[in-house]
Amino acid sequence: TSKVFNNFYRYYSSINKVGVIGGGQMGTGIAQVLSQTAGKNVVIFDSNKAMLDKSLTFISSQLKRQIEKGKIQEQEQFEILKRISFSDNMESLKDSDFVIEAIVENPEIKTQLFKQLNSVLKPTTILASNTSSISITKLASNYQVPENVIGMHFMNPVPVMQLVEVIPGLQTSSETNNITLELAKKMGKTTTMSKDMPGFIANRLLMPYINEAAQALFEGLGTIEDIDTTMKLGCNMPMGPLTLADFIGLDTCLSIMNVLHANLGDKYKPCPLLVRYVEAGRFGKKNGKGFYSYNK
C-alpha cells in the first residue's frame, strides 16, 4: 500500500524543484522556460563554471529584450531570475524532484553521468534526458531506478520552439510518462511521442537531410549560399540546412549522425566534410565558425 500511496502522492503533487544538467544552449533555454512559463524553481548544474556565467548572462539578456518589447514587466524579470540558481557542484541536484539532462551528446559521457547520479538523486526523482539520438533504454540501464528515466527532447531555441518529443524507454513507467507530459504542458509545449529508436522522429528525418546538404557542398553541387537559398526559397524551408546545422552545432550534428550510422547502417554515414569541420573545431554559431562565420 505504501507504494500505491507513494505513486498517488507523486502523481498528484506538483514538481517543485527541477534540476537541469548542462548549462549550454539547450540547458539554458530549458531552465528559462521552466522558471518563466512553468514557474518552477530551477538549479542549473554544469561542470564548467564559465558556462554557468554565460548561461546567466544569456537568460538575463533574453529577459531584457522581452522587457524592451513590452512582453514582461521588470518585476517579472527579477522573479524569473530569482527562481534559477547556478552551481558547478553535482550535490546541488539532490533535492530536485525532476531532472533534465542536457550535457554534450556523447554516449560515454552521458553514461558516466547517469552512474554518478545514482548516489546524488532521490529514488523518486524523474530523470529525463534531452538527448537527440542516444537510446533512452540504454541510458536508463545505468540508473538505479530505470522506471524513472525518460527522453524529453526539446527543440532549439527552447523558448521559441513549440515541440517536445517524449520518448519512453523499455523500462519507463506510465507514471513517469504522465508526469513528464504534464511538465511539458506546464512549460507551454506541445508533445509528440516517439519510440526509442536512434534519432527518434525529429532527428531521424532532419539529420540525414543536413548531412546530405553537407555532402552536396562537399561534392561541389553548389556554394553554401546556393544550397541554403535553394531549400529556403525553393522548398519553403524557414532556413537553409547549412544555416540550421550551424545553429544546432556541427559537433552535435556529427554525434547524432554517428549514432544513426552505428545503429541503422551505412545509409547514415556522416559526410567527410562534416567530420573535418568538427575536427577543425568549427562547431557552428556557438563558437563563431561553422559553415558560415559569425561575429563573436
Cell of 142: 545505468
Task: Quote the least distance from Cβ 76 to ligand NAI, whole Å.
Answer: 25
CB burial of residue 223 (10 Å; 0-12, 13-18, 19+): exposed
Cα dihedral: 203, 208, 213, 218 (round 10): 130
Active site residue 212: no
Output the furthest CA–CA distance in the chain (Å, rounded): 67
Percentages helix, strand, coil for the chain (3-state, rounded to 5) are 50, 15, 35
Residue nearest to ligand NAI (CB): 24
Active site residue 165: yes
Residue 230 C-beta-side C-alpha neighbours within 13 Å? 12
**For ligand NAI, the closer CB: 77 or 250:** 250
**For ligand NAI, the closer CB: 179 or 210:** 210
Amino acid at position 24, single letter? G
Task: Quote the least distance from Cβ 29 to ligand NAI, whole Å.
Answer: 8
Active site residue 279: no
The rounded distance, in Å, linking the Cα atoms of 155 and 186 is: 16
> Which one of the listed residues 129, 153, 194, 255 is annotated catalytic?
153
Interface contacts to ligand NAI, rule CB under 6 A: 21-27, 46-48, 51, 102-105, 109, 113, 130-132, 153-156, 248-249, 252, 286
Task: Quote the least distance from Cβ 182 to ligand NAI, whole Å.
Answer: 21
Annotated binding residues: 22-27, 46, 105, 110, 132, 156, 286
**For ligand NAI, the closer CB: 146 or 199:** 199
Which residues are marked as active site? Answer: 132, 153, 165, 203
